[in-house]
Homo-oligomer: A and B are copies of this chain.
Amino acid sequence: MTEKQENILNAALELFANEGYNATSTNKVAKAAGVSEGLIFRHFGNKEGLLAALLKVGEDRFKSLYADIVMESDPEKIIRKAILLPFQVPESEYTFWKLQFKLKWEMEVDGKEKTEPLLRVLKYAFEKLGYAEPEKEASLIVFIHEGMSGAILKGVPIDKQAFQTFLLEKYNV
């Protein structure tokens, strides 16, 4: 991975996340990255390839985000960790996650399958704790994630610290 390749990826991430994939021309990316337009195609084949490279780089972030929680067996800890999840994303990664959200809507990129493991482990936790509707409880957590993260990423001001505490108390974890 040469320096220019990284410049391209960074520029593309920034632009795709903020202006949208379709609204960002490869020309704009090249200029922002300080490289010739052709280089994008030499390295990533085509515009979609550039996007794919971006998503591939980010796949690890998904995994490291979920890894800790999916391994857990104590139901209370599962729920606790699930709630903490969105709050642990460092602000430096916001651009990447904004891209994820944008793509879910701009293209019809998956999204559903990515939350599957989380749903499963949450359902298991709520079952263990004797909740009447564990599956729905799990979904609810995910919905809250989506709604809240979306708001944060779009720049809605939220006292994250306080909201985190609020949620943890609500679930007694």
B-binding residues in A (CB < 8 A): 20, 22-23, 101-102, 104-108, 111-112, 133, 136, 139-140, 142-148, 150-151, 154, 156, 158, 162-163, 166-167
The main secondary structure of chain A at its interface with chain B is helix
Q: How far is the CA of A62 from the CA of B150 in the complex (A)?
A: 20
A143 contact from B22, B106, B147, B154, Cβ within 8 A: B147
Q: Which residues does chain B contribute within 8 Å of A151, judged by CB atoms?
A: 112, 143, 146
Residues A154 and B108 in contact, CB atoms below 8 Å apart: yes
Identify 9 new A-B residue pairs, CB closer than 8 A, beyond the known A143-B144, A143-B146: A23-B106, A102-B105, A104-B154, A108-B154, A112-B156, A142-B147, A143-B148, A145-B147, A146-B146
Kindly list chain B residues whose C-beta atoms are within 8 Å of the C-beta of A106: 20, 22-23, 102, 105-106
Residues B136 and A163 in contact, CB atoms below 8 Å apart: yes
Which chain B residues lie closer than 8 Å to A139 at the CB level?
148, 158, 163
Q: Which residues of chain B are within 8 angstroms of A107 by Cβ–Cβ distance? A: 20
Residues of B within 8 A of A108 (CB): 154
